[in-house]
Chain A
Amino acid sequence: METAFILEKLILVVIIFVVTLVIAMYSTLAERKIAGFMQDRYGPDRAGLFGLLQPLCDGGKFFFKEEIIPAGAHKTLFILGPTIAIITACISSAVIPWGQTLTIGDQAIKLQVADVNIGVLYIFGVIALGVYGIMLGGWASNNKFSLMGAIRAASQSISYEIAMGLSLIALLMVTGTLSIGEIVAQQSGFVNWNIWVQPLGFLIFMTCAFAECNRVPFDLPECETELVGGYHTEYSSMKLGLYMFSEYINMFVSSSLMAALYFGGYNFPFMYDLGLSENWITILGVIAFFLKIFGFIFFFMWVRWTLPRFRYDQLMNLGWKMLIPLAIANIVLTGIITIVKDTYF
């Protein structure tokens, strides 16, 4: 039993890890293809069919580039920076429920690595840790532009974490649990999705997710026009690749988080009315979940090629003077509605 359990979880972890990396890899291609589509050009189409081998070529190039550690840099922390960035990006997917139970023979496999009862908080902790990668890398480079990028990243992520946490509190008031598995299980069908009860909370959460992932319009830590490159100015070769990669993984994880918390996760409309067997519902659920995730990733890219970058004071104003009061108002509103609903209906 014990070995079977460990083996089951191990296989699940490996599958999720590989899927995460592959999705992050092809997000880079998708981003360039979408950019091409929006700017009325082709995008990469030389390597393989439709440019499908482009991510592999990029990866190979990253590996074979010369690795430079600047003379004035702090060597240990310089290496530690991208390491932390990629590790924190990869471990955050552990609590996301990818699907319901899959029954093979008499073995019931739950498609979630760890259903801890503090799942939402765990994700929060890991996100909070992720900023260390950027900060350490930027500081250890011993470059003023990198340091500026690192400081921007730190203050930005701290500011937006507050609004993100507050928007989640309203969601937790509705769901009454911190376990992501349970939150998703509550949203079966279509009408029970949390987006219908928390539209404002979702908007705040999504804005903050953009800021936490350092995506346009909030990509000030890597603002090329002002900072040469940003916190990774001094990085070359695969270390730069790891920073880029962790950004795409973060995008994937936050997309899956948004899909799980607000858009029903693996639930899809009429899932129990089609007369399908348990396993088929699970498989279709996983497919539905990934479709939602891809939708959000597309949205991330769509915004990137549509909106210009914020100015830094605008970013801070938006975070502190707009999103935080809105999130608090959302909490109060949710509380009032909950009480009214409980007493009169």
Chain B
Amino acid sequence: MTIFYFVAFLSIFFALMTIFTKNPVHSVLYLVITFFTFTVHYILLNAQFLAVVNFIVYMGAIMVLFLFVLMLLNLNKDTEPMKSHLVKFMGVIAGMCLLVTFLGAFRVLETNNEFVQGHADIGLVKNLGKVLFKDFLLPFELSSILLLTAMVGAVLLAKKETRTNQNG
């Protein structure tokens, strides 16, 4: 439990650092550390597979791409577009709404549920695979189709306009 509180403190600390730091590249790096603390949380929950997937996908791929884009744009204090106060105000309201939603969702969460407590090993890759491909096959396949759709959409958006004009 002590480890949990320590790691939770680190998560919140680095999450706050992500928001409050001025330099975008620093911000991304703090976010990387925040994701790393999430990985530690997953390991504490005995969810090895989730931990390592979080590590590979978020830290290893998505944040590298974030950093990639930031480096290409080379944002810094001088070139950063000034946001109006209205945008900031709206951001605060949206964030608070999200917080209220999360609080409401977690209040009704039953942590004493038998299913949650009785499956301590569900995070191991063998058990997780069996559950995903036997009990939750349809939702799993549907979400993979959702991801595929997003991928096709992204490729279509990134495709050069000129070629489609010539053909059509």
Chain A interface (Cβ within 8 Å of chain B)? 77, 116-118, 121-122, 124-125, 127-129, 131-132, 135-136, 139, 147, 150-151, 154-155, 157-158, 161, 178
Contact = CB atoms under 8 A, between A and B. Distances in A.
Nearest to A125: B55
A131 B65 CA distance: 11
A141 B72 CA distance: 15
A178 to B, nearest CB: 6
B59 A128 contact: yes
A135 B64 contact: yes
Contact of A131 (B64, B124, B125): B64
Given A118-B52, A122-B52, A151 B68 contact: yes
B139 to A, nearest CB: 21
Contacts of A121: 49, 52-53, 56
B48 interface: yes
Interface size class, chain B: 20 to 34
A157 B67 CA distance: 14
A151 B71 contact: yes
Contacts of B55: 125, 128-129
Contacts of A117: 48, 124-126
Residue among B60, B71, B125 with the most chain A CB within 10 A?
Answer: B60
Contacts of B59: 125, 128-129
Interface of B: 25, 29, 32, 48-49, 52-53, 55-56, 59-61, 64-65, 67-68, 71-72, 74, 124-126
A95 B57 CA distance: 20
B125 A128 contact: no
A131 B48 CA distance: 23
Contacts of B64: 128, 131-132, 135, 154, 157-158
A150 B70 CA distance: 12
Contacts of A127: 60
- Ranked 7 nearest A-B pairs via Cβ: A128-B60, A125-B55, A121-B52, A125-B56, A154-B68, A118-B52, A139-B71
Contacts of A161: 60-61
B93 to A, nearest CB: 34
Given A118-B125, A151-B72, A154-B68, 10 more contacts: A77-B25, A117-B124, A129-B60, A131-B60, A135-B68, A139-B67, A150-B71, A154-B71, A157-B64, A158-B61
A158 B59 CA distance: 12
